[in-house]
Amino acid sequence: MFKTNYSKTNKTILFITICLGLVLGGYMLEGVGEKGNPLVLQEMSWVDVQEYLKTSDMVIIPIGATEQHGPHMPLGTDFYEATEMSKLISSRTGVLVAPVLLAGYSVYHSGFPGTLSLKPETMERVLFETAEMLMKYGFRRFMFFNYHGGNRIVESKVIHKINHTTEAIAVRIGIFASFQERGEEPAPLDYHAGIGETSIMLYLKPDLVKMERAQKPGMTLTTKILELQELGKENPGMMDVMGALMGVPVETKKGGASHELSSNGIWTLGDPKTATKERGEKNVNRMVENAVKFIKTWEKVKNNP
């Protein structure tokens, strides 16, 4: 009799202990790793922004594009990549994200319908004036997360203008940041809408990817591009010269506009059908983790900005 009662008592104590442990464990885990939902400017009220500025002067501005990404991916691929990765960074750090533009500089993709493109000077003005408004409220540390190669020069000019004409500090944390190493290429010339980028979208926005339409493109590379590619094995600097011939407007007569290079808008010598969600998750996590480490280190700097 005593043994039976003792067993029931122990079971009751064990049950209560487990429940209490789960509850306390939840409290202990809160704030470790994930901080919660991302902070997005357009989803906040002015009161929320006012409260945020009491503890932080940081802001992430994603820069993407609205341009063709082959027959299988949405025109907004670069916008989604830049914005969704910025939101993942926000959920880990608590830094506010302020999307500003839907379009970027993409004129060389305009051989395929639906592509939008802004002049570089237009983009620069909009991004800088947006930054000026944010400075008015107390933001002082600006991080641009760019995920479109065509925006590189604009991003550089905006960052330079902020750093040289205002009290604020601006840096890049996207694809051209010094701490963002490029992952292993899944195929030669896998530059646009290919295996790597399709994999990222399969992870970030799988509902927008139509894999049944994915197909290996017919790539038409000029004799000069092929020659430079071969010479690049001897001297990597030749790849910079090759890059100057690709992704340029058709009016330059270099044969480097998107529709001149690719039969369907995809730039790769591989097959986008081989893209996987797992590859995309690995690449996204690497970029997000690198940015999170950067932000957490910058937060340690005294007397900011």
Higher-scoring residue by pLDDT: 167, 6: 167
285 and 156: one domain?
A: yes
In a domain, 112, yes or no: yes
Confidence band (pLDDT; 50, 70, 90) for 27? very low
In a domain, 33, yes or no: no
Q: Mind listing the pLDDT tens digit for each residue in 133-189? A: 999 999 999 999 999 999 999 999 999 999 999 999 999 999 999 999 887 889 999
Higher-scoring residue by pLDDT: 229, 169: 169
CATH for 134: 3.40.50.10310
What is residue 96's predicted lDDT score, i.e. its pLDDT? 98
210 and 283: one domain?
A: yes
252 and 230: one domain?
A: yes
User: 135: closest CA among 161, 166, 95, 173?
Assistant: 166
Query: Are the beta carbons of 139 and 53 closer than 8 angstroms?
Result: yes
Angle between helices 195-204 and 77-93 (to 10 degrees): 50
Q: Tell me how far apart the 2 most distant CA atoms of the chain are, in Å.
A: 95
175 and 257: one domain?
A: no
In a domain, 188, yes or no: yes
Structural domain boundaries enclosing 229: 220-261
Rounded Cα–Cα distance for residues 31 and 109 (Å): 43
Kindly state the tokens that stand for 226.
């092929």
104 and 245: one domain?
A: no
**pLDDT of residue 98 exceeding 70:** yes
**pLDDT of residue 263 exceeding 80:** yes
232 and 151: one domain?
A: no
In a domain, 168, yes or no: yes
In a domain, 34, yes or no: no
231 and 211: one domain?
A: no
**pLDDT of residue 292 exceeding 60:** yes
166 and 242: one domain?
A: no
What is residue 87's predicted lDDT score, i.e. its pLDDT? 98
Q: Give the phi and the psi of residue 224 in degrees, each rounded to 5.
A: -65, -40
In a domain, 205, yes or no: yes
50 and 183: one domain?
A: yes
Q: Give the phi and the psi of residue 61 in degrees, each rounded to 5.
A: -115, 110
What is residue 305's predicted lDDT score, i.e. its pLDDT? 60
**Considering its fold, how many domains does the chain have in total?**
2
What is residue 35's predicted lDDT score, i.e. its pLDDT? 63
**pLDDT of residue 55 exceeding 90:** yes
Average pLDDT of the residues of the chain: 90
**pLDDT of residue 9 exceeding 80:** no
Please, is 171 exposed, middle or buried when counting C-beta atoms within 10 Å of its C-beta (0-12, 13-18, 19+)?
middle
What is residue 21's predicted lDDT score, i.e. its pLDDT? 43
233 and 148: one domain?
A: no
In a domain, 271, yes or no: no
195 and 47: one domain?
A: yes
256 and 108: one domain?
A: no
In a domain, 10, yes or no: no
**pLDDT of residue 80 exceeding 80:** yes
